[in-house]
Structure 1
């Protein structure tokens, strides 16, 4: 950037220097958010029309607990059953609270759509700032794309699985699944473009629709002819379908919970469309304060999702029928058959599935919204090939339509994996969980390595528990990289049953590495931070 870059506006309250000789400002309630954004080196291009409830709704939509746990049920059933379903959810919920709290603390200092890659740049030392930003940016962007792909694909499988409720001999083909998947992506793209002014209402409605899914639990418990004992629901464990040793099978089965609870950090990409982002986004991710500045570690969206998951999953354990037929369904989506067996009615099962698919619609739209904003923000700083095209905000609609299209096309191409592997959905969920997890961990790691100096006076501080919470975040995510590249079951007898998470991850990593070698290492300087550039140029 030119040395004559505009001087930053620094509010009175600041945190220690970030290493560039520039103090890190902390925003107060009355600060002008546009000036705060300009201070970080960006101009306001998107409309700020999202409130607290809408952001919380978006976060809830992306996690989509009843939908996410339903589409990944076969993973938990294969790797342990009820114990994995229940205690895996509790364990991952607690870890997710630590991760979300760590991100919320950082987000309260740097409320920009760049999210994790901006945070990594600001929390790193000047020498490694650009590389840290580039690495995190790619991880976050790929994570957003694959979350969108996995959500859309899982719902597409459920739609075709609905047909088997009335035609048990029907076996969906790979091409049929892909066509439904591509159609859903196209529909989501069109809604994001032409109904953008209604996204705020859609996100809010999502909260109520998800709450209405309690109908599913009430129906299953009331219509079930056979209910399992408390001992079965709370302690039955069978890892034999997986072929893994019992303890390892339980960890592999954590993908169900980890995938469902991984999308909360994606709302950071909406920072520049939120009123009072320094307060609203962390709350939605979700930090909340209590009396006398003592802050809780509860993150609203994750805490709400954790409770929702327990309310949904525990009753499932009590009505769970024989697992063998559920694992043999051709669609790889056992939940519709579970509904049918428990209710004894195809119509009732379809009605319950309709509630799940409603959540899926919100999740598909919301995840593509977040993915496009993440792509746009990273392109704005030149991190993606063709950034000049993807960073454009359409003046008519006021949104980055080109980034929306790119995100949709990438997801559409990922769907081709299913034509060669029936385990494509597991690959999407694995890559999404790994990439988003790594993108969350990296800025937290940078903060830890530098003694948490840059977040010491954050509006939402973790205080004396910050080091412990941050360490839990980094350790768990590091372990999950290995964990979620594992196949759900062994032995892997053919290419179609292989977990392609590592292949997809390696593919995107190769693209990122090649682009860095031929272009980014010379031209990518990290997020635009005008004052930092001035200091760093001398």
Structure 2
């Protein structure tokens, strides 16, 4: 046999002559057989004579614990051409649970639906065919009938054309499993009813990024400036002197920056969505980012990776939930401001209380809706989509048609305002924040994967279509709304703070229609909070339930507690709202980063980017890092010269400190604080008991262990093989013919 030394020698008596046969093991044959014997009842069905086959089987199964039965040539049907076929009904009458591994198509001609072909081994020391079959065999034991023609078509296709590609074992596994079987292989039992269709899944992802609760409320920040000037006669006087929603660190560079940054941020968000789609295609669980980080990090780092990802994802979603609910409260209060009601007094404690109560009401209503069964959620998810699409269309086109102002698009793209007191380059960086705040939460499609049919395909599709739809609808909304604003009143729009959008409506269509627009925004706000609660509750799901009702109401309570500081201090609420986006982006970053650096361990699902996976992942990581940094940068300059006493020389310290703290970007304080607390808790206690979610260990990490095939049979894997006795050469390769049967009786 050349340079490689044989693994075993057997003596066979042929016509009263002793023949020596040198036996060679296919790489991984021992470990393969041992692992498969844990999953199945193993039977050897060979066309060889027992005089040879028995000694080989005895050698492979020294303790007689792996092979349950043996069938030899006498059980085969011999044809005139000398070939042998095997009738699997001899092994088991119920063929729905019998699988044959064989390298000869003639051998399984009678039962092709039950056969898994395997390539003949030719002494390749790097052969991994047995390892690549393990994930499939692991998954196959969860199916009702192994004879699925679609399943075996996929097997033959992969075996013939893609077997040598990296990660193909998991591609094979994911493509051939039904949804519940894939979850079982990932370590989970089916917990949620699969009642959501693809459109409902997409509807939630789209609603979470909806323009009524992201783009529209933040337009005043996009066109605003840092200074304070007298309010223009074109605008109703804002009723808030100390507007709780005036996020001063969002003073950026006007329409030009918003319109230029929107497609750029949309492109990079699409890259993130594509990378995320790859991962959800392989790991379609409601745990989403939390589970992905654990599986991609590997057994050693899985607890820490999932712990940090879960921490930031949970708090990020909590911040976004609370921020969206607070936007609902602002819409509610703005109705009173537009009608000049005496109920709302500018800057008053009572006004903040009303805003808070309205926000809490939106959370309670959304929590009640999210607690319904999956079929009701399926319907409401579609309603969410149409409310947002139709609502945006009505507002945008009605406003544009009725508004007396029509600014040319060319002028919008050429209008640059920088009132931040910061350099233009810095202000341009700040200008991307409106788009960044919009493109968050699209991982909701992944968190709803367990309730969606065919999630390995529909999850990625929902994420990418939602991002693409948001780009189109958001850009159209921005252009049409900005075109109705007189450029001479940009500063006044900012001075109106959270009332800025309502001021635009009033100027364009009058008070009554503006209030009607605000009612549409209230409905859209409810749909967004509903979608976020669905996402957040599914992420925290642990018990065997069909609807995570308790988790939903716990999330509602947490969001209410987060909103409480907004009654007393707007900067604290602003910090929480900003951290919501930063936390979400950091949670996105962890699994994508792990997917890039552990590319050789990443299991491709039916949706994958192929050779583009790593480059797109790198772009996503860089973008998420940039955005997270941009969100914590100082974004407005508080000029001390504006806070002097009557002599215009002496600094008014109290006024300056108050303004500085109001303008201060508290997001980095919150981000660093949460990280320090999380890591300290991990170091002190959590590392001792926190294990993270179950990971996909039966597919990828077992393969890693088996690749350490030095000598010890206890660490290696198992398989079997034979050849026709009369054609058998003096060199025998165990694992080549692969005449190996498994039955699902053992589980």
Q: TM-score, length-normalised on structure 2?
A: 0.62
> What secondary structure, in the 3-state scheme, does the structure 2 residue paired with 1:126 have?
coil
1:424, 1:243 → 2: CA distance? Answer: 23
Q: Which residue of 2 aligns with 1:288?
A: none
Q: Distance in 1 between matches of 2:519 and 2:422?
A: 35
Q: What's the CA shift for 1:182?
A: 1.8
> Is this contact kept in 2: 1:16–1:453, CA < 8 A?
no
The residue that corresponds to 1:499 in the other structure is 665
Alignment partners' CA distance in 1, 2:191 and 2:175: 22
Between the aligned partners of 1:247 and 1:498, the Cα distance in structure 2 is: 20
Structure 1 consecutive aligned stretches of length 4 or more whose deviation exceeds 3 Å:
11-17, 21-30, 194-197, 423-426, 529-538
Q: Which residue of 1 aligns with 2:139?
A: 10
2:264 and 2:697 map into 1 onto residues whose CA distance is: 43
Compared CA separation, residues 490 and 16, structure 1 to 2 (3 A): farther
- Aligned with 2:543 (options 388, 392, 396): 392
- Please identify, of 220-229 and 7-16, the stretch whose mean Cα deviation from structure 2 is larger: 7-16
Q: Match of 2:609? A: 462
Query: Which residue matches 1:101?
Result: 274
Q: Does 2:620 match 1:445?
A: no
Provide closer, same or farther for how the CA distance between residues 498 and 363 of structure 1 changes in structure 2, counting only shifts above 3 A.
Answer: same
| 1:369 is the counterpart of 2:534 | yes
- Residues 67 and 27 of structure 1: is their aligned pair in 2 closer, same or farther, counting only changes over 3 Å? farther
CA deviations 1:448-501 (Å, max 9, x no partner) are 11235514x431121232222111111111122221023543328243443332
Aligned residue in 2 for 1:239: 418
Aligned residues of 1:71 and 1:155 also touching (Cα < 8 A): no
| Residue 354 (structure 2) pairs with residue 225 (structure 1) | no
* More off after superposition, 126-135 vs 302-311: 126-135
Return 494-503 or 359-368, whichever deviates more. 494-503
User: Residue 121 and residue 476 in structure 1: after superposition, are their counterparts in 2 closer, same or farther (change >3 A)?
Assistant: same
CA offsets 1:186-227 (integer angstroms, 9 cap, x no match):
222222224654221111122222221212122112111122
Change in CA separation of 1:60 and 1:47 when aligned onto 2, cut-off 3 Å: same
Larger radius of gyration: 2
- Select which of 523, 526, 531 maps to 2:689: 523
TM-superposed CA distance for 1:302, in Å, is 0.4
Give the SS at the match of 1:522: helix
Q: Is the 8 A contact 1:268 1:281 kept in 2?
A: yes
Partner of 2:551: 403
Q: Matches of residues 118-197 of structure 1 in structure 2 within 5 Å?
A: 118-167=291-340, 170-171=345-346, 173-194=351-372, 197=375
CA-based RMSD of the aligned residues comes to 2.9
Give matches, 1:317-466, under 5 Å.
317-321=482-486, 322-329=489-496, 332-343=498-509, 345-376=510-541, 391-393=542-544, 398-424=546-572, 426-451=574-599, 453-455=601-603, 457-466=604-613
Gaps of 5+ in 2: 1-34, 40-134, 141-154, 224-250, 639-656, 706-714, 716-747
Q: Hey, what does 2:741 align to over in structure 1?
A: none
CA 1:532–1:464: 2 relative to 1, 3 Å? closer
Q: Provide the rounded CA distance (Å) in 2 between the counterparts of 1:301 and 1:279.
A: 14
For residues 402 and 73 of structure 1, the distance between their equivalents in structure 2, rounded to whole angstroms, comes to 36
Q: Deviation string for 1:289-321 (max 9, x for gaps)?
A: xxxxxxxxxx21100110011110011221123
Is 1:279 matched up with 2:430?
A: no
Sort the Cα spacing of 1:22 and 1:341 in 2 relative to 1 into closer, same or farther, 3 A: closer
Contact 1:104 1:460 in 2 (8 A): yes
1:90: how far off? 1.2
Structure 2 match to 1:382:
none
- Partner of residue 512, structure 1: 678
Deviation at residue 16 of structure 1 after TM alignment: 10
Contact 1:393/1:401 (<8 A) preserved: no
**Structural mapping, 1:293-332, within 5 Å:** 299-321=464-486, 322-329=489-496, 332=498
Structure 2 distance, partners of 1:111, 1:485, is: 32
Is contact 1:27-1:278 (8 Å) kept? no
Corresponding residue SS for 1:59: helix
2:206 equivalent to 1:39: no
Q: 1:496 to 1:412 in 2, by over 3 A?
A: farther
2:205 to 55, 59, 64: 59
Distance 1:333 1:26, change over 3 A: farther
Give the structure-1-normalised TM-score.
Answer: 0.85
SS at match of 1:150: helix
2:493 and 2:477 mapped to 1: Cα distance?
Answer: 18
Q: Which residue of 2 aligns with 1:292?
A: none
Report the more deviating stretch, 400-409 or 60-69.
400-409
| CA separation of 1:329 and 1:522: change in aligned 2, threshold 3 A | same
Query: Who is 2:79 aligned against?
Result: none
Name the structure where helix makes up a greater proportion of residues.
1
Q: Tell me which of 475, 479, 494 is aligned to 2:622.
A: 475
Cα shift at 1:113 = 1.1
Residue 211 of structure 1: aligned partner: 389
Name 2:720's counterpart in structure 1.
Answer: none
Shift in Å, 1:175: 2.3
Q: CA 1:328–1:16 in 2, change beyond 3 Å: closer, same or farther?
A: farther
User: Which of 438, 445, 449 does residue 267 from structure 1 map onto?
Assistant: 445
Q: CA deviation at 1:518?
A: 3.8
The structure where strand makes up a greater share of residues is 2
| 2:745 alignment counterpart | none
Partner Cα distance (2:490, 2:571) in 1: 19
In 2, distance between residues paired with 1:261 and 1:60? 10
* 2:214 equivalent among 68, 75, 83: 68
Deviation at 1:523, TM superposition (A): 1.5
